[in-house]
């Protein structure tokens, strides 16, 4: 099993550009999550999903959108990138009886 | 008030030392408890789950006090490789996870 995979690993965006961060898990987990982590800070929940077709906002959803059309995939869309979105983005998955499993992260710089 | 609070440290200890981290959580209905380890610029990884009766995994011992809403992690015989940030994590009954900001540990030779 690959676990949770994320692409790309790194990306530099110009202000106002858009991009999609990809996340895929192969553990058949119902729950998936997107977090951001700024340097020296803790994880902040952006969006989460409890199953295909169901998503909900977390603590810091502004400037982001998600979709969950399949159990495996949970892409995060950034529209009109801003310097404040420079961060490391982690995707994670879990099920009711498990801990969270994290992907390796995407390092995003917006300049 | 934060859901999970931890002392950010850093804790600077010599090799071989015993070090303890604490964390408190605010939601008394929390279901599950974990300690994660995060190395610099890497994803968090599960160190151990925390059970009400306390549990041990090699040099690591975790304790949970539900009445006080308090979780602890004890590391014995610290190794250089234990240097990392330790995250206290609480799961609620809706499968949402709440992370503390982490406690940084530096183990020195």
From residue A104, alpha-carbon distances to A34, A35, A46, A100, B107 in Å are: 12, 12, 17, 13, 25
Confidence label for A19 from pLDDT (cuts 50, 70 and 90): very high
Least confident of A3-7, A9-13, B46-50, B90-94: B90-94
How distant is the Cα of A20 from the closest Cα of chain B, in angstroms?
19
Closest by Cα among A80, A12, A93 to A48 = A93
Q: What is the pLDDT of residue A51?
A: 95
- Residues of chain A found within 8 Å of residue B44, distances taken between Cβ atoms: 43, 90, 100, 102
Q: Report percent pLDDT > 70 for chain A.
A: 99
The 8-class DSSP code of residue A83 comes to G
Residue B102, pLDDT > 80, answer yes
Mean pLDDT in residue range A7-25:
97
Closest by Cα among A37, A102, A49 to A74 = A49
- Residues of chain B found within 8 Å of residue A99, distances taken between Cβ atoms: 32, 34, 46, 49, 89, 91
The pLDDT tens digits for B16-68 are: 999 999 999 999 888 899 999 999 989 999 999 999 889 999 999 999 999 99
Residue B1, pLDDT > 80, answer no
d(CA A109, CA A89) in angstroms, rounded, equals 11
Confidence label for A95 from pLDDT (cuts 50, 70 and 90): confident
From residue A70, alpha-carbon distances to A18, A30, A97 in Å are: 22, 10, 21
| Cβ contact B99–A43 (<8 Å) | yes
DSSP reduced 3-state for B82: helix
d(CA A49, CA A37) in angstroms, rounded, equals 19
Residue A33, token pair as written in the block = 């999550």
Q: What is the pLDDT of residue A14?
A: 97
Comparing alpha-carbon positions, the chain A residue that sits nearest to B37 is A102
Q: What is the pLDDT of residue A7?
A: 97
Q: What is the pLDDT of residue B18?
A: 98
């Amino acid at each position: 099993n690959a676990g949770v995979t994320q692409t790309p690993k790194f990306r530099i965006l110009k202000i106002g550009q858009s991009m999609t961060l990809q996340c895929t898990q192969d553990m058949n987990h119902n729950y998936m999550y997107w977090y951001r982590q700024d340097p020296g800070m803790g994880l902040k929940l952006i969006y989460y999903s409890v199953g295909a077709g169901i998503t909900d906002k977390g603590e810091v959803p502004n400037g982001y959108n998600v979709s969950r059309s399949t159990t495996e995939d949970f892409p995060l869309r950034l529209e009109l990138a801003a310097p404040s979105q420079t961060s490391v983005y982690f995707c994670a998955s879990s099920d009711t009886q498990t801990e969270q499993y994290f992907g390796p992260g995407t390092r995003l710089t917006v300049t | 008030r934060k859901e999970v609070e931890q002392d950010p440290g850093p804790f600077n200890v010599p090799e071989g030392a015993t070090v303890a981290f604490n964390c408190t959580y605010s939601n008394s209905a929390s279901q599950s408890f974990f300690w994660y380890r995060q190395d610099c610029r890497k994803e968090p990884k599960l160190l151990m789950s925390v059970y009400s009766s306390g549990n041990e995994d090699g040099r690591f011992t975790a304790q949970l006090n539900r009445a006080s809403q308090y979780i602890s992690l004890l590391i014995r015989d610290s190794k250089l490789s234990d240097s990392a940030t330790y995250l206290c994590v609480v799961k609620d009954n809706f499968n949402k996870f709440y992370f503390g900001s982490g406690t940084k540990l530096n183990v020195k030779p």
